[in-house]
Chains A and B, each alone.
Chain A
Amino acid sequence: MTGPSLARPEGLVRGYLPVVVAIALLAAVPLVVGDSRYLVSVATLMVVLVCYGIGFNVVFGGTGQLLLSIGALAAVAAYTSALLGGELGWPLAVTLPVGVLGAAAGGAALSWVSVRRRLDTIFFGVVTLTASLVVHNLLLGRRELTGGETGLLVEGGSGTALRDPVTGYYVLLGLLAVGLAGHRAIQRSALGWAFRAIRDDAEAAELAGVDVARTKVTAAALGSGLVGAAGALYAHVDGFISPTTFAFATVDVRVIVVVVLGGLGTLLGPLVGAVAVSVLDELLRPLGQLRLAAYGAILLALFLGLPRGVVPTWATAWWRLRPRTPRGAHPDPAPSEAPDRSA
């Protein structure tokens, strides 16, 4: 996969086939579980999680920036749009984009600062983690505005079709389709090539003419934008948000599991990971608090056994098993995506 794509019709179809298939499968879900409000809400949360995962994947899997502020960025978008709609009465069509822009700007700012100060992974991780905690504490503290711990009822979208569980699911699925297609488009474009170059060796990329700084900030903006969109949309679909909805323990931790499980940097990784995590969540529910320990154990088994995640491992296996075709344009990126360079 090199440079800007000379999109031949087959290339386009073959390239986006995984996206189409995935969305089609997910679109069928309400047909199966549509009767159960509970299951639809679980499915909706799963779709939101996939969106978060794609955002994180683009930023971390794409450019190696350990953005530990996913929950906080979603919260920024959600609370901004909710409050603008609630306090100032602005329409959804305005508040949602504003929220998304806020999240995108936040992510881009974090990235820009770290690029300017040449922060390495640990420092960037610490900065984004503390930013996340600061946001969390601000949401808790500014009770008059945000409702604090008790949460906020979201006015925007109330009384509309958005609040219908199944419709809400499809709206978020629409966002997911955009996210997947967008990620796919990036992968096939010059930007995607820049991502891979940076991931392999940032200095070499710089020398090869890649504007590393700009690529990183762009990735952060795009990823954060998607995360914000998911958070803000979810707020209006569900109708209620609180700091816990977007806490580090609720969101970021899950996102890390999802993305690592599914495969860092891959297209469908977040989807596979989110499905697995959602299913696990339900299966492990009887364990109660022990669930956290179970996640930890699974993560450990993954990191140490399947460090590149499920998708690349299967992709490698499939790559080795299937007969070589002359123009093997493999839908998923080649198995060299993972950050683990010692393999």
Chain B
Amino acid sequence: MMAILLDGVVLGLQLAVLGVGISLVFGLSGVLDLAYGAKIVAAAVVGSELLAADVVPWMALATVVVVAAGLSLAVDRTVLAPVHRRVGEARVVLSLLVTLAVAFVLDGIVVSTRPLAALTLVVGGAPVEVLGVTMRRGSLLAAGVALAALVVAFVLLQGTRLGRAIRCVIQDVEGAQLCGIEPGRVRTVVVLLSGVLAGLVAITQGLAASVGTADGFDLTILAVVVAVVGGLGRVGGAAIAGVILGVVHALATATLGASGTWVVLLLAAVVTILVRPEGVVGPGGWRLWRHRAPGSAPSGEMVP
């Protein structure tokens, strides 16, 4: 039982990073990035190519993060620019379709050029005993990286002026402008942050298991499920939901098998939407996305 729990927490921390990454961007601009998983995979493949070419590991990994961040920014500035000019429902629909198309492009390129690539990071050393359970060093390192990423993200968002500015833009774009905060600049920072987190997911997944070219869609779905259960746009909620769902995943895999686990996770998302759309985690976490009154635009609306 303890083994399952620990496995669940290790996975959960990674899911938390995944959820935070996608939730941040959604909270800011109402864009649900269906290409999130594809970016992770693309960055991972670049990493695996570099490692295969005998590049120093820490440089290869740093490149993974940079590639993910760069991709995120590039997509946001080019293809998503028209999306940001729209408002309300039109923006939501267009963003879903555009990010889906980006996912095709990235996935297609990756699968056709390097179909067998996978980022697998092997960490040397004997397994470690934690709370009576033998754990691979890779898994522990993955959990550690994920935890560190979450802590840094939270310190940034809660404790710094930049973080405060980000939270402002997320909660009320106009109010932020009236305080002298440029939403465009904040958006750049958030997109980069989300990209960095994506790169870190590639790394942690590579440490704990491996990231292959077929994993893009699955990663995106996982990210969406975590974000939904945590409350779309609620970054704090996404983090907590990630950990919870990680444990659920571990429990389900042990009892129901692979496809049963997927069904459980997906149903968790559906049930959340139907029963408590603001997220399973209590109202104590920050509500970055105001569930809007019918007819009004989402709070992520940008004045052109």
- Closest Cβ–Cβ distance, residue A332 to chain B (whole Å): 21
> Is the beta-carbon distance between B97 and A299 smaller than 8 angstroms?
yes
Interface majority SS on A: helix, strand, loop or mixed? helix
User: In the docked arrangement, what's the CA distance between A242 and B55, Å?
Assistant: 44
The yes or no answer to B112 lying at the interface (CB within 8 A) is: yes
> Is B266 part of the contact surface with A, judged by Cβ < 8 Å?
yes
CB of B232 within 8 Å of the partner chain: yes
Interface residues of B in 5-37 (CB under 8 A from A): 32
Given A292-B104, A339-B89: A131 touches B111 (CB 8 Å cut-off) = no
Query: Is A66 a contact of B93 with CB atoms below 8 Å?
Result: yes
Total residues of chain A contacting the partner, CB 8 A: 48
Contact of B295 among A140, A203, A339, A341 (CB under 8 A): A203
Write the nearest CB–CB distance from B22 to chain A, whole angstroms. Answer: 12
Instruction: Please determine whether B105 and A296 come into contact, CB atoms closer than 8 angstroms.
Output: yes
Known: A118-B294, A203-B295, A293-B108. A126 touches B269 (CB 8 A): yes
Q: Does B255 contact A (CB under 8 A)?
A: no
In the bound assembly, the distance between CA atoms of A133 and B266 in angstroms comes to: 8
Q: Does B56 contact A (CB under 8 A)?
A: no
**Interface 0/1 of A117-140, CB less than 8 Å to B:** 111111101110111011001101
Contact A289 B96 (CB under 8 A): no
A262 to chain B, nearest CB (A): 14
Chain A residues with Cβ below 8 Å from B97 are: 256, 260, 299, 303
Interface SS of B by simple majority = helix
B283 within 8 A of A: no
Contact B108 A289 (CB under 8 A): yes
B67-104 with Cβ < 8 A to chain A: 79, 82, 85-90, 92-94, 96-98, 100-104
Give the nearest-CB partner of A64 in chain B.
B89
CA distance A280 to B262 in the complex (A): 33
A2 at interface (Cβ–Cβ under 8 A)? no
Interface residues of B in 239-293 (CB under 8 A from A): 257, 259-260, 262-263, 266-267, 269-270, 273-274, 277
Does the CB pair B101–A134 fall under 8 Å?
no
Asked whether B196 is an interface residue with its Cβ less than 8 Å from the other chain, the reply is no
Is the beta-carbon distance between A342 and B273 smaller than 8 angstroms?
Answer: no
Query: A303 and B112: CB pair below 8 A?
Result: no
Whether the pair B89, A130 counts as a contact (CB closer than 8 A) is no
Of chain B, the residue at the smallest CB distance from A118 is B294
Knowing A126-B269, A288-B112, say if A121 contacts B93 (CB, 8 Å). Answer: yes
Contact A122 B32 (CB under 8 A): yes
Residues of chain B whose beta carbon lies under 8 Å from any beta carbon of chain A:
32, 79, 82, 85-90, 92-94, 96-98, 100-109, 111-112, 115, 217, 221, 224-225, 228, 232, 257, 259-260, 262-263, 266-267, 269-270, 273-274, 277, 294-295
Q: Which 5 A-B pairs have the closest CB atoms?
A: A293-B108, A296-B104, A292-B108, A296-B105, A289-B112
